[in-house]
Amino acid sequence: MSGAADALRLLRGDPRAGSVVPPSGFTARLTVFTAAAMAFLAVFALALALSAGHLADRWGDALARTATVRLSAPAGQMDTQLAAVMEVLRTTPGVATARPMTEPEQRALLEPWFGPDLPVETLPLPRMVEVTETQTGFDADALRLRLAGEAPGAVLDDHTRWRRPLVRAADRLRGLGWLSIGLIGAAMGAMITLAANSALAANAQVIEVLRLVGARDAFIARAFVRRFTRRALEGAALGTAAGMVAVALMPGGDGTGFLTGLGFRGLDWLWPLALPPLAGLVAFWATRFAAFRVLKGIT
Amino acid sequence: MAERGVIELDNVSHSYGGGELLSNISLTLAPGAFHFLTGPSGAGKTTFLKICYAELVPTAGAVRLFGADVRGMDRDQIARTRRRIGVVHQDCRFLDHLPVIDNIALPLLTAGQDPDDERNNIDELLGWVGLRARADALPPELSGGERQRAALARAVIMAPDVILADEPTGNIDWEMSLRILQLLVELNRMGKTILIATHDLNLIRAAKAQVAARVLRIKDRQLNLAGADL
């Protein structure tokens, strides 16, 4: 009999078939607790994965569409070279906007390092030009060559150097989040297998009686599978609800920082709802595997 | 052509713990036959019965249940075959957390039938074994005789062709033993094949007064037809 057919029979089958296994308090509580704890952790792993994903996308998008031209030139040539830079940028395909940063903006950039009282006007600071790309973007190498020809003091920084590791880190974090969910599922499966093995061993006499009256292994396994799947569903529902409440109560923010951005947004809140059915599936297969393995070993 | 038996054993031997318990036993249980199996304690009566309903596979020889060789059966086939054999154990083997009525209906449930559809049959069966008033009791609450009658009801609910009973009157008084015997005789008259393992010679004599029962004896690992002294 296929697993899918078994699952359907499990859902619509006669609940009295499950009553042939006596209720056992310890394994019941253990399974419900395990499923609840694992689902609670899975909600956080899910929040981590989704938030890291959003962060990677946001950083990738934001940084990919901006670049900076830094112009260092003697005081007498600064305005001439700046005009040349602006002209080059204006005529470069893929450049949406180009704007020289104002003195207060440059002061604000330096303030974290030098404090608010630094007389920046007395320093030979380079001029910065903020460049925004179109969706198609520009050819950075070609632009560098043109800038070198028209304004020798201009250097193009398209942020590639520091954008890549950031996006890579966020992507890695997203992967770790999903890996954590997988590991949580595997751990839950292992613990439910142990609990099922314990229940099967404790009910050896029940199995013997069922065999004597002509029960097939599938019937006996189903009685255990039904019980453990239901417990896992109940536990996971509790754990998921608690996890969602905990995530909802996390301190918010503008969402741009990592910790303040940890959580679910919009339709993301639907993702945790998949955890209880997934826990049920894990419990179904883990118990089924354990039951048939044990039953095969009993002559 | 010889009549095919419902249970056939050909040169069956069985070893346990390094020693041979049964040796070269051959037997054919014909449909509708009534047999007793007797012998001293430890002679192998229970082992013999277990072989007859495929709970044990003998170390040598062939066992055919309803014409099919047990060695060629998979686990599902064995389970289906057991539904045609009702077994009554000395210790009854109930599920103690279920009431008597559910224990009796257990074979129906495991066969995929809805016990509610068989409510009338179950009620009739409870009346037949005299346990209608005890239907909702848990097995540990029953007396020895009530347990045996409940076990008999469970054994026959699937209308099996064969009833195997292992010391069904072992722990009950003589009056109740006769009541159990009477039920088994009634089943035999309905065409069921009966094999009862017992060391109670009085029970055998009481049965022989009512039906043409054959008495088999296991002694020194061999199965023989008992003499006229029984």
Q: What number of C-beta contacts closer than 8 Å exist between A and B?
A: 63
User: What chain B residue is nearest to A23 in terms of C-alpha separation?
Assistant: B97
Provide the CA B54 distance to its chain's centre, in angstroms.
12
Of A299 and A271, more confident: A271
Q: Which of A6-15, A270-279, B21-30 has the lowest mean pLDDT?
A: A6-15
Determine the distance in angstroms separating the CA of A177 from the nearest CA of chain B, rounded to an integer: 44
Flag whether pLDDT at A169 surpasses 60. Answer: yes
What residues of chain A lie within 8 A of the CB of B80, using their CB? 214, 216
* Token pair belonging to A261: 């951005």
pLDDT of residue A1: 46
Higher pLDDT, B101 or B225: B101
The model's confidence at residue B58, banded by pLDDT at 50, 70 and 90, is: very high
Per-residue pLDDT band for A281 (boundaries 50, 70, 90) equals very high
Residue that wins the pLDDT comparison between B230 and A80: A80
Answer whether B76 touches A (CB < 8 Å).
Answer: yes
CB within 8 Å: A212 and B94? no
Q: Measured between CB atoms, which of A20, A218, A219 is closest to B95?
A: A20
User: B109–A14: do the CB atoms touch at under 8 Å?
Assistant: yes
Chain B nearest-CA distance from A295, in A, is 10
Q: Are B176 and B208 in contact (CB under 8 A)?
A: no
The residue to which tokens 């004599």 are assigned: B205
- Contact B138/A at CB under 8 A: no
Q: What is the ipTM of this complex?
A: 0.85
- In the predicted model, is pLDDT for residue B48 greater than 70? yes
User: Which of A14, A205, A214 is the closest to B82 by Cβ?
Assistant: A214
Strand pairing partners for B69? B64
Q: Does residue A202 belong to the interface with chain B, where contact is any CB pair within 8 Å? A: no
Q: B152 to chain A: nearest residue by CA?
A: A213
pLDDT at A84 (0 to 100): 93
pLDDT band at A138 (very low <50, low <70, confident <90, very high): confident
- Within chain A, residue ranges assigned H as helices are 3-12, 15-18, 25-64, 78-90, 103-114, 140-150, 160-202, 204-212, 217-248, 275-297
Q: In angstroms, what CA-CA distances link B122 with A14, B89, B158?
A: 18, 20, 10
Average pLDDT, rounded, for chain A: 85
Confidence of residue B51 (pLDDT cuts 50, 70, 90): very high
Identify all chain B residues contacting A215, using CB atoms and an 8 Å cutoff.
79, 110
Residues 6+ apart with CB under 8 A from B6: B29, B30, B31, B65, B66, B161, B162, B193
Cβ–Cβ contact A214 with B under 8 A: yes
Q: Mapped to the 3 state alphabet, what secondary structure does B59-113 carry? A: CEEEEEECCEEHHHCCHHHHHHHHCCEEEECCCCCCCCCCCHHHHHHHHHHHCCC
Whether B115 sits inside 8 A of A16 (CB atoms) is yes
- Looking at the partner chain, which of A14, A17, A214 has a beta carbon nearest the beta carbon of B80? A214
Residues from chain A contacting residue B158 (CB–CB below 8 Å): 214
Higher-pLDDT residue of A238, A24? A238
Q: Least CB-CB distance to A214: which of B79, B96, B97? A: B79
List, for residues A115-135, the tens digit of each pLDDT value: 877 777 777 889 999 998 888
Shortest CA gap A12–chain B (Å): 13
**For testing the chain A interface, which of B88, B89, B104, B106 should be mutated: the one with the most A CBs within 10 Å?**
B106
pLDDT number for residue A60: 74
In tens, the pLDDT along B84-98 reads: 999 999 888 999 999
Is some CB atom of chain A closer than 8 A to the CB atom of B48?
no
Nearest CA distance, A268 vs chain B (angstrom): 43
Find residues 192-211 of chain B whose CB sits inside 8 Å of chain A.
none
* pLDDT at B69 > cutoff 90: yes
Nearest Cβ partner for B93 among A23, A209, A299: A209
Using the beta-carbon criterion (under 8 Å), do B97 and A210 form an inter-chain contact?
Answer: no
Residue A97: its H or E element: strand A95-100
Residue from B57, B59, B102, B110 whose CB has the most chain A CBs within 10 Å, to mutate: B110
B34 touches chain A (CB under 8 A): no
**Cβ of B106 and A216 within 8 Å?**
no
The residue to which tokens 């070893």 are assigned: B15
A12: pLDDT strictly greater than 60: no
Task: Report residue A4's pLDDT band, with 50, 70 and 90 as the boundaries.
Answer: low
Asked whether the CA dihedral A248, A250, A254, A259 is positive or negative, the reply is negative
**Residue B70 contacts residue B64 (beta carbons within 8 Å):** yes
- Sketch the domain layout of chain B as residue ranges: 90-159
What mean pLDDT comes out for the span A274-285? 93
Classify residue B185 by its DSSP letter: H
Q: What is the pLDDT of residues A235-272, one digit of tens each?
A: 999 999 999 999 998 876 555 555 566 788 889 899 99
The pLDDT > 90 percentage for chain A reads 43
Statement: residue B1 has pLDDT above 50: no
Flag whether pLDDT at B12 surpasses 60: yes
Q: Is the dihedral of CA A35, A39, A45, A50 positive or negative?
A: positive
Q: For chain B, what is the mean pLDDT?
A: 90
Return the number of other C-beta atoms located less than 10 Å from residue B72's C-beta.
9
- pLDDT at position A229 over 70: yes
SS3 B34: strand
B34-38 and B214-219 beta bridge pairing: parallel
